[in-house]
Amino acid sequence: MSGAHSHDHDHDHDPPIAARVKALEAVLTEKGLVDPRALDALIDTYEHKVGPRNGARVVAKAWREPEFKTWLMRDATAAIASLGFTGRQGEHMRVVENTAAVHNLVVCTLCSCYPWPVLGLPPVWYKAAPYRSRAVMDPRGVLREFGVTLPDSIEVRVWDSTAELRYLVLPMRPAGTERWNEDRLASIVTRDAMIGVALCDAGRAA
Amino acid sequence: MNGAHDLGGMHGLGPITREPNEPVFHAEWERRAFALTLAMGAHRRWTIDRSRFAREDRHPVDYLASSYYELWTKALERLATEEQFLAPGEIEAGRSLAPPPAHTKAPLAAADVAPMLARGTRHDRPVAAAPRFAPGDAVRVKVAASPLHTRAPRYCGGRKGTIHAGNGGYVFPDANAAGKGEGPQHLYTVRFAARELWGDAAAANDSVFIDLWESYLEPAR
């Protein structure tokens, strides 16, 4: 059961929702409305094929190749598609760049909008009420909760994904990584850094 | 509607709970609920805007007490019932009690999953009229109290911002969710000073960017 709600229910037992979803699948399958093999393929896609490794490739390439970065900032959808990451919940991409003067943070206060092709499905905290309520109102407090303390001199920009534009943060490239290849760079680009709740750290390289 | 989903700026919702090495799904039923929602969406009997309304249009206590995929499941039941894919009593019975509706087409096939996801669904649309606003223009978000679907969060209602970017025409969710057609409008990214939204407690140099459709906005001075 999702961590965000474990504090207000007891889910040690098999929850009624599990039986309800099972019955729903049985009925829709019996009626020929869903093919269970398609369900398996959908699940497999987001459990095993699509995830933040995709976004890390985008970031690492942008860090190494100025021309790609220019393209990414101008037309993120096309630049990201050139790496093979397209489609559902990433149809209209925007990339926002962290610099020495600006830090960006992405939220969806109204639901759970998130760039699936580059980050996969969102973590529970991103979809849950505490983050959605406070990211726009107290981004510096939220960042501190994630262990990131920004000096007052840095401008914080919060992007509330209220439309079909999907935002990806281009984190700052850590010092000391100038000679790294793309694989090594990608290994320090985390999901949280691409949401904007973490910084990239050269110390965690693979 | 300004339901419990409209969370921006609410106090008292507690600390952010993170889970190290979080799995994509936390239970088998979450996997199936996610996949059922996408597979039923492939019948194209409802739009993403109507789906969002089906998730948010519920009592605040129900919304806040439901986990994410519980909300997806409740919305799917509602949409499937509205489209007569699901008949009353069928979930309780665990079997079909009525034939599928005449509009039923073949289900999403496993082989079509990857192409469908890679294709996605574009939401940009041509809009004949010239954009009313240009980058740098001062705008104010109209105060609205519609009980129907909208993507203007309540925390920016009545607040003044600056057009950061024009994004071209996009499907208008308020119309689309209500079954009134796509009614595309120009979509803008509007920048609000954090202090305009939250008062002096906010940092002077922080800002919030919100994507807002043209009819949500009016000129400001």
CB–CB of B68 and A3 under 8 A? no
- Once rounded to an integer, what is the mean pLDDT over residues A7-29? 80
What does the pLDDT read at residue B146? 87
Residue of A15, A34, A133 lying closest to B36 (CB–CB): A34
Whether residue B125 lies inside any domain: the answer is no
Indicate if A17 and A107 belong to the same structural domain. Answer: no
d(CA B131, CA B126): 11
Instruction: Please tell me the total count of domains within chain B.
Output: 2
What does the pLDDT read at residue A14? 63
First vs last C-alpha separation in chain B: 28
Query: A74 touching B, CB under 8 A?
Result: no
- Closest of B203, B212, B200, B206 to residue B158, by C-alpha: B212
Distance from CA of B221 to the nearest CA of A (A): 23
Indicate if A103 and A183 belong to the same structural domain. Answer: yes
- The string of pLDDT tens digits covering residues A190-200 is 999 999 999 99
Indicate if B45 and B112 belong to the same structural domain. Answer: yes
Whether residue A173 lies inside any domain: the answer is yes
φ/ψ of A167, rounded to 5, equals -105, 140
- The string of pLDDT tens digits covering residues B151-168 is 999 999 999 999 999 999
| Whether the predicted model's global pTM rises above the 0.80 cut | yes
A200 is an active site residue: no
Whether residue A95 lies inside any domain: the answer is yes
Indicate if A77 and A157 belong to the same structural domain. Answer: yes
Residue A95 is given by DSSP the state E
CB–CB of A22 and B151 under 8 A? no
d(CA A152, CA A141): 12
Which residues constitute the domain of residue A30?
13-47
Whether residue A7 lies inside any domain: the answer is no
Whether residue A5 lies inside any domain: the answer is no
What does the pLDDT read at residue B19? 97
A113 is an active site residue: yes
Whether residue A89 lies inside any domain: the answer is yes
Residue of B110, B120, B151 lying closest to A86 (CB–CB): B120
B200: how many CB neighbours lie within 10 A of its CB?
6
Indicate if A56 and A85 belong to the same structural domain. Answer: yes
- Please report which residue ranges of chain B form alpha helices under DSSP H: 28-41, 48-56, 60-65, 68-82, 90-93, 110-119, 173-177, 194-198
Q: What is the CATH number of the domain that holds A126?
A: 3.90.330.10
Whether residue A1 lies inside any domain: the answer is no
Indicate if A61 and A35 belong to the same structural domain. Answer: no
Indicate if A149 and A113 belong to the same structural domain. Answer: yes
What does the pLDDT read at residue A189? 98
Query: A21 touching B, CB under 8 A?
Result: yes
User: Is the dihedral angle over the CA atoms B173, B176, B179, B181 positive or is it negative?
Assistant: positive
What does the pLDDT read at residue B144? 86
Indicate if B94 and B67 belong to the same structural domain. Answer: yes
What does the pLDDT read at residue A1? 38
Q: Which H or E element spans position A137?
A: none
- The string of pLDDT tens digits covering residues A118-127 is 999 999 999 9
- Maximal CA-CA distance, chain B: 61
Could you tell me how many helices (H) and strands (E) chain A has, helices first?
11, 4
What does the pLDDT read at residue A5? 46
In chain B, residues with a C-beta closer than 8 Å to the C-beta of A134 are 13, 16
ipTM of this predicted structure = 0.98
What does the pLDDT read at residue B211? 98
Whether residue B7 lies inside any domain: the answer is no
**Given a cut of 80, is residue A163 above it in pLDDT?**
yes
**Given a cut of 80, is residue A9 above it in pLDDT?**
no
Whether residue A4 lies inside any domain: the answer is no
Query: A53 touching B, CB under 8 A?
Result: no
CB–CB of B85 and A31 under 8 A? yes
d(CA B134, CA B159): 18
Indicate if A128 and A38 belong to the same structural domain. Answer: no
- In A121-180, the residues whose Cβ lies within 8 Å of chain B are 121, 123-125, 127-137, 139-140, 142, 145-146, 152, 155-165
Indicate if A134 and A200 belong to the same structural domain. Answer: yes
Of the three residues B91, B119, B147, the one that is the final residue of a domain is B119
CB–CB of A43 and B35 under 8 A? yes
What does the pLDDT read at residue B221? 82
Tens digits of pLDDT across chain B (221 residues): 999 999 999 999 999 999 999 999 999 999 999 999 999 999 999 999 999 999 999 999 999 999 999 999 999 999 999 999 999 999 999 999 999 999 999 999 999 999 999 999 999 999 999 999 999 999 999 998 889 999 999 999 999 999 999 999 999 999 999 999 999 999 999 999 999 999 999 999 999 999 999 999 999 98
**Given a cut of 80, is residue A68 above it in pLDDT?**
yes
Indicate if A153 and A71 belong to the same structural domain. Answer: yes
Half-sphere exposure of A152 (CA within 13 A, CB side): 3
B101: how many CB neighbours lie within 10 A of its CB?
14
Indicate if B70 and B42 belong to the same structural domain. Answer: yes
Residue of A26, A45, A129 lying closest to B94 (CB–CB): A26
CB–CB of A160 and B35 under 8 A? no
d(CA A201, CA A189): 8
d(CA B8, CA A139): 11
Burial class (CB in 10 A: 0-12, 13-18, 19+), B146: exposed
Nearest 5°: CA angle at A184, between A179 and A185? 75
Which residues constitute the domain of residue B52?
28-119
